[in-house]
Every structure is written in C-alpha cells, then in structure tokens.
C-alpha cells in the first residue's frame, strides 16, 4: 500500500516505529524524481541537506512532517524568486511562519511555482512553466499558489504554504481536491513574505485533510511584533464545535456558474449535504460581498502591487502581470479615498447580513478552464475565478476551502466556508464534517481514503475570556496569586510594558504591592505576567481589587493591548520609584539581598 503523507498517519507510524522520517524523505524524493521537478517546483533542497534537517529537527507536534513553501516566502539560504528570475535574491533569514513550523519539527523540501508576484488565480503566469491540474493536465491548476497546491495533491508533501490575497489559497485547493485554509488576516505572520497587497495578504495552508490544516495552523498562528499587520488580539488557533442550530448562509439570488452546469449541480448538492448534517439553510443578500469583490482589482489595492516591483524592468515581467500592475499607476489619491469610503459602506451592509447567519457557503470558483483557453483570454477568465473569493480579505473574513465532489469529466469541485474574523477554528469543525460527508472521498489525487485519515479533534466552543496583566502580588508565587488560580485562570506568558510606565513600591500595603502608573516619561519594559480567565470570573476578580489599584488598559511592547493593573497617580506621591529594577519580582529580590 502506498504511504499516505497525511500528518496523522505519518505521526502514528513514527510513534509505532513502523517507519522513520528518514524513510519518508527517501520516498518523497523518489516520487519527485518520478514526476520530475519542473514545473511544480522552482527550487528543491538537496536530499542530504533535508536528511540532515531531519536529524536536527525538534520532536515537536510536526516532527518529521515534510512541507513546501510558495516561492514568495523566504527560506534562509535559498533564492526567493516570486516567479521572476530577475527579481531573485538569497534570503538571509526564513519567514517567521517557516521558522515556527521548523521549530515544531516540520521538514522543508523545497519552494514551489506560482503566478508571478502572486498576481493571478490560474497558475499560467510563470516563466518556470505551468503547473497543470493533477487530474487532467489540459486544465489549469489554479493560482497564484499553483505549485503549492499541486505538490500536496500529488502526494509529494504533507502540507504546503501559499499566500492568499484574492483567493490564491482557495482556488487551487478546489481545483486539486485538497483543503485550503485562508486564515483571518494577521494571525499568521507575513514577515518574510514578499507582498502582493501588503494590507490584504495572508499566508495560507494547503493540506490533504482539514485536521492536517488545523494541525499546521496550531503551530503557525502566533503574534509577531515584527509584522506591522499582526493581530495582537488574535486568539490561539483551536478547532471548536459550532453553536447549534448552525445557520448556513446561501445567496438569495442565483449565482453565476459561467455556463458550468456541473459546478452548479455540485454546489446545490453541497447545500443538501449541509442540511442533512443538521444545518439551518438561511438566504442572505450577497450584493455587498459581490460589490466588494469587484473593488479588489478595480480599486486602489492594485497600486499596492507596485510596492515589490516598482523598480523592475518591464521586460523582466510576465506580460499579463506587467499590465495588471501598471494599472496601479493610474490610481489617484482622490480615487483611493473614494474607494475606502465605498468599502466602509459595503462593510456596514455586509455586517448586517452576518446577523442572519453564522457561516456562508459559496462555490470556491464558479467554473474552471483549460490552459489553452486561459492563455487565449487571460484577464476575463481569471476575473471569473475570483467572483466568490476576492471580497474575503477586504471584509476581514476567515475562509476554508474543502473538496465537494467531481464533475462527470473528473475535474474536482470545491466550496468555501466563510466566517467572520477569528472564526477559523469553527470553520474547521464544519469543514471537516462536510468533507467527510462525501462518499468515497480520496486525499488529493492519491488513492488514500479520507475515511482512513483522522478527523479534527474539536473542542466545545470556548467561553469568552479576558487577558489580564498582573504586575505585583498576583504574580506566580506571590501572596495573591490564588485569586487567579481559584478562578481557573491560566498563565500565558511573561511580557513587558511599552514605554511611558513607571513602577512604585506602595507604602503601607498588606501584602506589599507595587503601583504601575503611566506617566508618559517612564522607560517602560516593566515585567508583567499575562493570565487568561473566563469573562464571568473576571468580574468577581476585579471586585477584590482595593483602591488605589484598579484595572485599566495596558500597552505592551509591540503595541499589544491587554487589561491590567494600574494605580491612581495620587497614591504614588512619596512612594519609592522602583522602575529601574524592571519589575516587582526583581525589586523583591534586590531588597532581600540587601
């Protein structure tokens, strides 16, 4: 039986001693050699280097799991081309997301082909060749993350990273019968990713199953202070059961399938499957989402694409990519602000529709095309592919693309579950159930059965929680820490405040307590502990806090904001300024020594 590379299977085999990561790498290179490197890969690591990485890999949750990255994502020591040889440079440091995955034990195999500068949804815009659909080489693979999707679907790696600005992490997933997770913007770092539209970019995950995509996301999602678009308020990634009854939104007006009756039929079958799973099917007004989608390439965001390529020679750019990007030069400041105002109006209208539903389900794409047809009409047909994907990042939504059947000619069809920001974990639970409702589903283009792969491990939906920064007597090991632990609060991390804060030793307090005050002149960097507790417990905790202390909003290094202890300014008059010690624990230690 052919080795399935789904993460749960490999991990189980390693744990039982049935195979080793080294044997998996040997198998992968044999498969790549049989299929050939081009056009799916742009750069492949030397096998001996990969095996050396296995020997040095941490035994984390992704230990020995092979993966690939789209070649607009930096890997230390490897060229980053963005599908443009003239642009190529050798990265000195890997992207944050790559560092996190390797720290979890994952093994990088190589870098994959893409629509040049991540501009396109079809996969035909690269001088390195055209990755074809794994089920029919006459058809497009989808882009811009074409190679990343193909190598997963073909069983060459367990998962891969793409990027998704307009649908590039979803359309290739649909066309190749795999899962594409487009996370909420800012929860996976984009530091080390060459931007397409920097304000709208997201790193995406391709995998054989929803469970695998979730496993990768658990390792990849983290706040990165070096990423200016990172979301400090983002929760950790966790698969959660959705509330009941689950309201699934479908458009209240007919969608365009561009004369593809098979895709239309498969979409309606998907709706029937969701109803069979107990979901409440709810019509909603798709107009504000549709109108937002039209703005992505007609609005000022196309000018953002100039950021990475403005100094490139036109002759070095793919002709279609060049024309699209150059259109950004025609966007005026006035038109830009007009678009921002219109987007705000669409967002308000879209927010009203979310009151009707928990999740919307759309075809990932209304149809697909043969490579020859795409090359003959590259702009119009590509635009059709983004009809149901382009709006997602502009409206700050989460999305998960899952397989949903095949046309009679064997071409895959997929749907996308779309939720509000930070609904990623709930989408995973729904998406896994929907994927598994398909009869006889296989993993990508392999013969491995979905039914043999592990399902997602969903937890009950989390209660609302509050992060609280404590600075003194509530620290671990201090006299009042029990007020946190008896409320089941969880210690999350040790952090430091931003500049402007000063710390004082308050006189006459029992037990001894410090007072943290924002005066605007302090150097900051005061050590605090971040604890997370249930929102209901937070109220009873606050009720215990005596004056002059209270709970306010603290700003941490990097700009992240949390609730935390602050002191009324009058109480520190005459108190000892202990800011120089950098924290209460350090001050206690110094006084103990003295």
Angle between helices 261-276 and 424-436 (to 10 degrees): 100
Is 482 a catalytic site residue?
no
CA neighbours closer than 13 Å in the CB half-sphere of residue 7: 27
| Residue 108 in tokens | 């990088």
With H, G, I as helix, E, B as strand and everything else as coil, classify residue 215: helix
Element (H, E) at 496: strand 490-496
203: Cβ contacts below 8 Å, ≥ 6 apart = 73, 95, 97, 161, 162, 163, 164, 183, 188, 189, 190, 193, 220
DSSP assignment letter at 459:
B
Report how far residue 237's alpha carbon sits from residue 184's, in angstroms, rounded to the nearest whole number.
Answer: 11
Q: Which of 53, 126, 168, 204 is catalytic?
A: 168
Is 144 a catalytic site residue?
yes
Report how far residue 155's alpha carbon sits from residue 97's, in angstroms, rounded to the nearest whole number.
Answer: 22
Q: Which of 70, 111, 182, 513 is catalytic?
A: 70
Residue pair 457/519 in contact (Cβ under 8 Å)? The answer is no
| Residue 335 in tokens | 């038109």
Torsion of CA 169, 171, 174, 177, to 10 degrees: -60
Residue 171: C-alpha distances to residues 72, 369, 425, 588 (Å): 18, 12, 20, 57
Task: Output Rg (C-alpha) for the chain, integer angstroms.
Answer: 26
With H, G, I as helix, E, B as strand and everything else as coil, classify residue 389: coil
Cβ-based burial of 492 (10 A; exposed 0-12, middle 13-18, buried ≥19): middle
Q: Which of 53, 94, 141, 144 is catalytic?
A: 144
DSSP assignment letter at 451:
G
Residue pair 478/520 in contact (Cβ under 8 Å)? The answer is no
Helices (H) then strands (E): counts for the chain = 20, 21
Strand partners, 66: 107
Is 332 a catalytic site residue?
no
Question: What residues act catalytically?
Answer: 70, 144, 168
């Amino acid at each position: 039986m052919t080795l399935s590379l789904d993460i749960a299977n490999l991990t189980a085999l390693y744990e039982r001693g049935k195979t080793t990561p080294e044997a998996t790498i040997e198998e992968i290179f044999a498969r790549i050699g049989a299929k050939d490197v081009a056009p799916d890969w742009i750069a492949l690591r030397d096998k001996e280097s990969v095996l050396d990485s296995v020997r040095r890999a941490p035994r984390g949750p992704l230990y020995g799991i092979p993966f690939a990255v789209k070649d607009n994502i930096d890997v230390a020591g490897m060229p980053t081309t963005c599908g443009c040889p003239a642009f190529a440079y050798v990265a000195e440091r890997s992207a944050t997301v790559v560092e996190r995955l390797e720290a979890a034990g994952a093994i990088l195999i190589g870098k994959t082909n893409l629509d040049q500068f991540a501009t396109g949804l079809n996969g035909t815009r690269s001088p390195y060749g055209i990755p074809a659909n794994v089920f029919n080489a006459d058809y497009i693979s989808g882009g811009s993350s074409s190679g990343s999707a193909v190598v997963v679907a073909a069983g060459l790696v367990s998962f891969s990273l793409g990027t998704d600005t307009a649908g590039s992490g979803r359309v290739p997933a649909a066309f190749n019968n795999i899962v594409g997770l487009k996370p909420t913007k800012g929860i996976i770092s984009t530091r080390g990713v060459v931007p397409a539209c920097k304000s709208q970019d997201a790193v995406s995950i391709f995998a054989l199953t929803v469970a695998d995509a979730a496993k990768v996301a658990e390792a990849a999602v983290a706040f990165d202070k070096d990423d200016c678009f990172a979301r400090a308020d983002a929760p950790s990634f966790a698969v959660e059961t959705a509330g009941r009854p689950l309201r699934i939104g479908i458009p209240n007006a007919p969608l365009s399938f561009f004369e593809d009756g098979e895709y239309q039929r498969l979409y309606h079958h998907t709706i029937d499957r969701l109803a069979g799973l107990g979901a409440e099917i709810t019509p909603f007004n798709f107009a504000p989402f549709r109108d937002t989608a039209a703005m992505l390439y007609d609005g000022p965001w196309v000018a953002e694409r100039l950021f990475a390529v403005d100094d490139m020679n036109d002759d070095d750019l793919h002709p279609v990519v060049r024309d699209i990007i150059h259109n950004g030069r025609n966007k005026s400041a006035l038109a830009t602000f007009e678009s921002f105002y219109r987007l705000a109006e669409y967002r308000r209208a879209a927010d009203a529709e979310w009151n009707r539903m928990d999740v919307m389900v759309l075809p990932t794409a209304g149809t697909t095309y043969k490579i020859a047809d795409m090359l003959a009409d590259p702009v119009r047909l590509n635009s059709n592919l983004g009809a149901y994907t382009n709006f997602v990042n502009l409206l700050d939504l989460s999305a998960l693309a899952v397989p949903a059947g095949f046309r009679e000619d064997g071409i895959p069809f997929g749907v996308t579950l779309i939720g509000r920001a930070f609904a990623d974990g709930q989408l995973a639970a729904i998406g896994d159930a929907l994927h598994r409702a398909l009869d006889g589903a296989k993993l990508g283009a392999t013969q491995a059965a979905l039914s043999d792969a592990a399902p997602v491990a969903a937890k009950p939906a989390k209660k609302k929680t509050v992060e609280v920064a404590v600075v003194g007597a509530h620290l671990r090991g201090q006299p009042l820490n029990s007020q946190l632990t008896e409320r089941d609060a969880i210690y999350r991390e040790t952090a430091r405040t931003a500049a402007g804060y000063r710390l004082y030793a308050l006189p006459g307090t029992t037990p001894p307590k410090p007072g943290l005050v924002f005066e605007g002149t302090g150097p900051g960097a005061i050590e605090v502990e971040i604890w997370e507790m249930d929102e209901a417990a937070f109220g009873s905790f606050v009720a215990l806090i005596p004056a002059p202390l209270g709970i306010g909003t603290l700003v941490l290094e990097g700009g992240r904001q949390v609730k935390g202890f602050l002191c009324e300014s009058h109480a520190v008059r005459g108190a000892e300024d202990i800011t120089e010690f950098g924290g209460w624990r350090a001050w206690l230690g110094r006084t103990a020594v003295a």
